Amino acid sequence: MLRGLTSCLLAIALAVGVEIVSTDVEAADAGPLVYPKRYPAAQSYGIPMYGDHNSAAHGSAFGGIFGRNRGELPPCHEPRVLKKIAEKWAWAEAHVLHTGQYVEHIDRVHQHAEEPGTPGFIDRRYCGATATLTDGRASEVVYLIETNQGFASHGFNVESCFPRYDPLRVHGQWCKSLRP
């Protein structure tokens, strides 16, 4: 029974990365069989541990265990941002609005404000533009770009609002929550 327990403890100790001092069964009565290594097993994979300020990977593992990964905050006129605005309008058109209009062109892009993510981790950029719809009418667009808000907190997210075409007031009256 003691041999089975000892071999079980040895297997667990090896799995978690501790140094084996003695494997003698009779030495079990004299004291503990295992002592922790100076450095945990995670250290061998280059993962800095809490308090390990001398690590070569200090501040860079997982986007910064000690530092922080601010993420990507594209400018207001970035084509990927404008594409997301048009895609969100197309979804809202198909499922909510049913006006038969789509975004044809977005111009007069400008930035209202930029908020660094202190003390939080989310940087925000408040923007505005004018969208031309397929019927030729121009409409104001208010949008917000946020870092680390994409799928699984990677990349950026764009929240947009057309004040004249927001019957459900999703972002408040006249898109107030997307304004600085």
What is the per-residue pLDDT for 45? Answer: 42
Contacts of 66 (CB under 8 A, 6+ apart): 48, 53, 58, 59
What is the per-residue pLDDT for 143? Answer: 97
What is the per-residue pLDDT for 68? Answer: 55
Domain boundaries of the chain, sorted by first residue: 2-63, 79-178
Answer whether 0.85 is exceeded by the pTM.
no
Fold of 79-178: Nuclear Transport Factor 2; Chain: A, (3.10.450)
What is the per-residue pLDDT for 155? Answer: 86
Q: How far apart are CA 128 and CA 174, in angstroms?
A: 13
First to last CA, the chain: 70
What averages of pLDDT result for each successive group of 10 residues across the chain (180 residues)? 60 53 50 46 42 40 50 92 96 93 96 84 93 95 91 86 91 93
